[in-house]
Structure 1
Amino acid sequence: MSINASHRKRLLAVAIGCSLLVSSAASALTLEQAVSQTLVTEPEIQQAFQRYKESEEQINIAKSEYLPTIDLNGGYGREMTDSPSTRASNNNSSVSLNRREMGLSLRQILFNGFFTVNDVERASRIAKSQHWGLINIAEDKALEVVGVYIQYLRTEQIHKLSRQNLSNHERIFRQIKKKTNSGLASTSDLSQISGRLARAKANLVSATNNLQDAAVQFKRLINSRPDNLFMPKPDAQSIPGTLQNAINRSEENHPALKVAGEEIEAITARRNQTQSSFYPNVSLELNGNWNNNLDGVEGDNNDLQAMVKVDYNLFSGGGDIAKYRQSSHQVNQAKENRQQVYREIVEGTSLSWNAHQNLQEQTEFVRQHVVAAKASQQAFEKQFSIGRRSLMELLDSENELFEARIDYINAEFDTLNTSFRLLHATGQLLSSMNVALPSTWNKAEGEFWEKFMDLGENASVELFNQ
């Protein structure tokens, strides 16, 4: 019975342990998951997404000019007419009749100086610019998530190290206090270790505050608690091998450059729109009216019209030419803006590359310092126990090791951060992390228009087959 009971207890302990491990793994959040979660919940990204969808509707608005406008009007009511014709035909009195009106008109633009073509091009380029702008904001937010994620891991390790440092000082304090009580150590040694112990406690309080701040920032940006985080590893194959390679990737992939390029094309299309005023407007107009009892005359009054109309402005005071010159200056301004964006991207890429290279070298030297400080601290502790080192020297060695370890933690996480910064500078942060963009970001432009045209084509095919 006792053996079975013991066996059941072991099974229960194993089951509880497994459930805890599963629960811990389920609540863990990788850096990639944190970025993906932010892309669909962060308000600034959602605002950019709505701007993109708004610009897509502008394409539908522009393309609507390819289709005719059809208007229907009608009316019915009582009309009293007192006119020369009614007085002549009705013994100088007015006429009251039930008036009815109904009209149908269709207007199709045949030619408007390529205004609609350029308007569609302008709207399409703006939508593409907004799409790349959305991706640019997503890249920036992904880098911000990386920074918050790494900062929490950094402060977590420093907090753990501060607790260990306090534990070491408490151990030395107990030893010195015991020696002081037995007369083997002076009261000055006790005062000295008491001061260092207070400093270690203050360091832990500061580390705790930094850890709590990092948790708040994590929650604000990622909308999740920083529980059981994993140490992230950037994709080594995505990191460029040379500075020139990094710059080339930035030129090819950075979304901010693509935004600036699409803005040039959009403004160019708007400039071409201004040339439409130099051409005539040609339209087809069909009108039909079916009226009854108009203006005191009893009976039907119907008419049908089918006309091709031409409108041509011959002179507008030079305003049309001025608008064209104005838009040409705007095109040049957009080109200079792209050049400025390019320079800023090259600068950012160069700075990220330099930081990445230098911090890798610096981290190795800091690691060597930790190894040397650890060896020194261990030697000083042994020598102190046999009276060959003073308490001051032992405490200084403890403090040097503590600060060296903090420097190494900072250098290690700074190096990790610069790797992600370099990927961000080349416009490849999201792709290097294999973070898929939300499917709603990739819908085709002018979706409503395309569905409408597909519907029209299908209807035409069915009618032809009949």
Structure 2
Amino acid sequence: MQRTSFAVYFGMAICFASAPAGAASLVEELRLLVDTNPQVQAGHKNVLAATEGVDEAFGDYLPNLDLRADYGYGYNDLRARRTGQGQPGGQPTDAFEGSRESATLTLTQKLWDGGAREATYETAKLQRDAAGTSLEATRQQVMLEGIATYMNVLRQVRLLELSRQNEANIMTQLSLENERVERGSGIAVDVLQAKSRLQVAKERRVAVEGALKEAQARYMQIFGNAADVGSMARPRPPLDALPQSLDEAIEIAQRDNPAVESGAKQIAIANERRNVAEAGYYPRFDFELSGNYENDVDGVEGVRRDVTALLRANWNIFNGFATRAAVARTAFEHAAAQESQSHTRRRVTEQTRVAWEALDTARQRVALLQNAVNIAEEVYSARQRLREAGKDTALNVLDAENETFTARINYVSALFDAQIASYQVLAAMGKLSLEVIEAYGTTAGNEAAPVLAKQ
């Protein structure tokens, strides 16, 4: 499907003035939405938390410096003191009691722990990336919801305009029928038929007004402010951002959709966690540098100073098969992450296909409905001329007006459906962004003629 064919459904025969300065354009509203939406803000906080998690994991590469000190009272009645063994002159001495103090400063640098440190650090970085991907997915979904809400308000505004125009046309026809009756060239039943159609038109207008109020209420809930209909402007459709074919759209979605990216990150995280578990099979090596100061400690009078530099090795030989169970658990978690990713890819393909088919269907409907509107308008004009010449009935004129109104309503709905579907395709591909929307700007006037001329 070529981009030029997409241009058909975006040929808007709807007049929306361009947004004035300070207007509530879609880009402005979406920018405020993503800056204030609680879901997006929660995603931001998760990214910040995950970033701190990376710094936390990196701390395992740096040495630990520990200071342990004590001061207090001590009493020691050692046998060596009572017998004089090891005492000056070999004379027995009394038990030692009095104040004591000690301090130990230890620097420990982990050298190797079976790869657990490296795997933990990689896990933290992957979790940070996954949080960023999740934030992007949330941002795009919130934007898509905001776009649909914004466009629905504009849709209802246009439908209300058509409903009022339809009501005015029927009132005009009613006036004409009244004049004919007064002149003696008409019949009362035509007036009654016109009045009946007028009531139906009023009911339709009231229904559309209700739908507009609902759309505005939804707008308030999503954006947090009332819709300023007078300054809203319909965005131009992102024609060039759409791929040439469904296969291309699916290929892009499989590569760039945040859900797919997140699934890949989860597989990598599960793999690193398995590496952490397997590290339990290996010994741990640490370099330890320690300095010790003691004064009157453990019955030894005077000051004692020690300095040691050690290479320590610790190897857990048996822990109740906990390591084996941890390795098996993480292996199953890795397999589960792979299966989840397979499901995610299928779901993304489905979403892309559904959005694309909705877009294609709406495009075809617009092309057909545009012709239907043109034909209905010609029929209505012809019926009016025949009626004025006394060669047609009021019922036929009213029927033609109703067909014209219905065709216009369907046409407008299809136009908005098509444009919303285009954003759904972008979201399915993971390409929906403020930059894309802003690049196309807003409409100004009737675009039907120039767009149709491209075909």
TM-score tier, shorter chain, comes to: 0.7 to 0.9
CA-CA distance at 1:93 after TM superposition: 8.1
How many corresponding residue pairs?
414
Correspondence 1:428-447 to 2 at 5 A: 428-430=431-433, 433=436
1:326 maps to 2:320: no
Give the AA of the match of 1:111. Answer: W
Determine the structure 2 residue equivalent to 1:246. 249
8 Å CA contact retained: 2:241, 2:436: no
Give the AA of the match of 1:40. Answer: D
Q: Bigger shift: 260-269 or 179-188?
A: 179-188
CA-CA distance at 1:258 after TM superposition: 0.9
8 Å CA contact retained: 2:74, 2:100: no
Determine the structure 1 residue equivalent to 2:145. 144
CA-CA distance at 1:80 after TM superposition: 5.3
- Report % sequence identity: 26
Distance 2:56 2:435 in 1: 37
Determine the structure 2 residue equivalent to 1:290. 293
Q: Secondary structure in 2 aligned to 1:316?
A: coil
CA-CA distance at 1:283 after TM superposition: 0.8
Distance 1:86 1:390 in 2: 131
Q: Secondary structure in 2 aligned to 1:410?
A: helix
Distance 1:108 1:327 in 2: 28
Determine the structure 2 residue equivalent to 1:37. 32
Distance 1:245 1:82 in 2: 84
1:340 maps to 2:343: yes
Determine the structure 1 residue equivalent to 2:4. none
Q: Per-residue CA shift, 1:366-390, capped at 9, x if unaligned?
A: 1111111111112222222333222
Determine the structure 2 residue equivalent to 1:55. 50
CA-CA distance at 1:94 after TM superposition: 7.0
Distance 2:399 2:41 in 1: 53
Pick closer, same or farther for the CA change 1:153–1:434 going to 2, 3 Å.
Answer: closer
Distance 1:343 1:382 in 2: 58
Give the AA of the match of 1:32. Answer: V
8 Å CA contact retained: 1:32, 1:433: no
Distance 1:151 1:94 in 2: 92
CA-CA distance at 1:150 after TM superposition: 1.4
8 Å CA contact retained: 1:72, 1:102: yes
CA-CA distance at 1:169 after TM superposition: 2.3
8 Å CA contact retained: 2:249, 2:352: yes
Q: 1:81 aligns with which of 65, 75, 99?
A: 75
Gaps of 5+ in 1: 1-20, 437-466
8 Å CA contact retained: 2:53, 2:124: yes
8 Å CA contact retained: 1:73, 1:104: yes
Distance 1:413 1:395 in 2: 27
Determine the structure 2 residue equivalent to 1:109. 110
CA-CA distance at 1:124 after TM superposition: 0.9
Determine the structure 2 residue equivalent to 1:359. 362
CA-CA distance at 1:296 after TM superposition: 5.6
CA-CA distance at 1:325 after TM superposition: 2.2
8 Å CA contact retained: 2:387, 2:397: yes
8 Å CA contact retained: 2:31, 2:434: no
Please state which structure has a larger fraction of its residues in helix.
Answer: 1
Pick closer, same or farther for the CA change 1:193–1:338 going to 2, 3 Å.
Answer: same
CA-CA distance at 1:269 after TM superposition: 0.7
Q: Secondary structure in 1 aligned to 2:21?
A: helix
Correspondence 1:125-204 to 2 at 5 A: 125-180=126-181, 185-204=186-205
1:265 maps to 2:259: no
Q: Per-residue CA shift, 1:81-118, capped at 9, x if unaligned?
A: 26456994999987652333322122111111111001
Q: Secondary structure in 2 aligned to 1:428?
A: coil
Pick closer, same or farther for the CA change 1:268–1:80 going to 2, 3 Å.
Answer: closer
CA-CA distance at 1:64 after TM superposition: 0.5
8 Å CA contact retained: 1:49, 1:134: yes
Give the AA of the match of 1:222. Answer: F
Q: Bigger shift: 396-405 or 173-182?
A: 173-182
CA-CA distance at 1:170 after TM superposition: 2.4
8 Å CA contact retained: 2:235, 2:437: no
1:72 maps to 2:75: no
> TM-score, normalising length from structure 2?
0.83
Distance 2:81 2:200 in 1: 112
Pick closer, same or farther for the CA change 1:147–1:247 going to 2, 3 Å.
Answer: same
Q: Per-residue CA shift, 1:349-372, capped at 9, x if unaligned?
A: 222222222321221111111111
1:207 maps to 2:202: no
Higher relative contact order (CA 8 A, sep 6+): 2
Pick closer, same or farther for the CA change 1:95–1:380 going to 2, 3 Å.
Answer: same
For the aligned residue pairs, the C-alpha RMSD in angstroms reads: 2.7
Give the AA of the match of 2:68. Answer: N
8 Å CA contact retained: 1:80, 1:94: no
